[in-house]
Amino acid sequence: MLSLIQIVHFPPLGDERGSLVALEAHKTVPFDVKRVYYIFGTQEGVSRGFHAHRALQQVAVCVTGKCRILLDDGQRSEEVWLDSPTKGLLIGDLVWREMHDFSVDCVLLVLASEHYDETDYIRSYDAFKQVLKS
Ligand code: TYD
């Protein structure tokens, strides 16, 4: 069975001056990017997420710092640490996600395939299980 954790490795384009990563639609990121957002300044002990999306592809990367991501497809849950600016996590439709253990310096950058749409969110785990059944 395929892992829920789909890592995308971004090639670092560094030279003697330092590092650079380029994210391009349909190259490093497997969809048209319609939205970019980032989460930073997360307070100690705070966890975020706790939702799924009906139709949204996302790639998440900690451009600095780290956090732990839990993904759950209703049958199993898997975890991964995002702890490198070259390590992206692909998150597809109908996957419950939680973000935990943000380091104080964490900047979690997310590229998304659609504009923000609150109606695309499934914000309770029970509702998520119901949607999976239907
Ligand atoms: P939310 O998705 O609940 O954050 P998280 O899952 O990381 O805890 O978003 C927090 C707030 O920001 C909520 O009021 C919706 C708003 N928001 C936007 O307006 N646009 C966006 O692209 C995102 C991701 C959130």
Number of domains the chain is built from: 1
Rounded mean pLDDT of the chain? 97
In a domain, 37, yes or no: yes
128 pLDDT tier (thresholds 50, 70, 90): very high
Residue 114 CB neighbour total at 10 angstroms:
16
Total-model pTM? 0.96
Tokens of 2: 């395929």
Report the nearest-CA residue for atom 2 of ligand 1: 49
Report the CATH number at residue 106: 2.60.120.10
* Residue 112 belongs to domain spanning: 6-10+25-133
pLDDT at 2 over 90: no
**Has 26 been annotated as catalytic?**
no
Q: Is residue 18 part of a domain?
A: no
Q: Given a cut of 90, is residue 68 above it in pLDDT? A: yes
- Which residues have C-beta atoms less than 6 Å from ligand 1? 35, 37, 39, 48-49, 51, 116
pLDDT given for residue 103 in this prediction: 98
Quick check: helix, strand or coil at residue 121? strand
Asked if 98 contacts 29 with a C-beta cutoff of 8 angstroms, the reply is: no
Taking residues 73-92, report their average pLDDT. 98
pLDDT at residue 14, rounded to an integer: 87
